[in-house]
Amino acid sequence: MRILREPMQFTRRHALKTIALAAVGAAACVRALSEDRPNDPETAKIRAKLLAIPMNQKVTLTNEEWKKILTPEQYSVMREAGTEAAFCNLYWNNHGKGKYHCAACDNLIFDASTKFDSGTGWPSFYQPVKGSVVTHDDTSYGMVRTEVRCARCDSHLGHVFDDGPPPTGQRYCMNSVALKFVAEK
């Protein structure tokens, strides 16, 4: 009987912790989803510069330029390799048909047909569009992971793991804030 009771106590404690963390993160989630990108003449000029770069060319903006056209959360994730909160981001539960683009440079990254529910609270895909991403070893936080970056603008998108579904067996675990969903018409 004792063997059964201990796992149940852990499960309850774990569930209560998870609920508490979700409540704390909810306010940050609402704030992050409601942030708009800045809109002033200087920002418009930087966006025009970005739009003038052909899609097959690399994008190189300064950190100050990125700060002008990205929201603070996007900048934290995409330029500083941060991570958004799980289960309260824009696309974790999106099941629409369409395409996912890089939120910074509009590079096509994923087709929605490769998206699956990983149970992690972040949008997950089993395969990117060919040539759309680059990967690097990431040893931050005492872990060994594979970081995924946009091949066009070098923005951090998330990480890839070898625990995904067929046909690739990979799970591209992405930050919603780093993506822009374009619904199929």
Given 29, 102, 150, 173, which residue is catalytic? 173
List Cβ neighbours of 127 (8 Å cut-off, separation of 6 or more). Answer: 110, 114, 167, 168, 170, 172
Structure tokens at 21: 């963390």
* Cα angle for residues 153, 159, 162 (degrees, 5° grid): 135
d(CA 90, CA 71): 14
Structure tokens at 8: 């149940």
The answer to whether 150 is a known catalytic residue is no
- Cβ neighbours around 38 below 10 Å, total: 16
- Are 102 and 180 a contacting pair, CB within 8 Å? yes
Structure tokens at 39: 């809109």
d(CA 80, CA 91): 21
Burial tier of 146 (Cβ tally within 10 Å: 0-12, 13-18, 19+): middle
Residue positions annotated with a catalytic role: 173
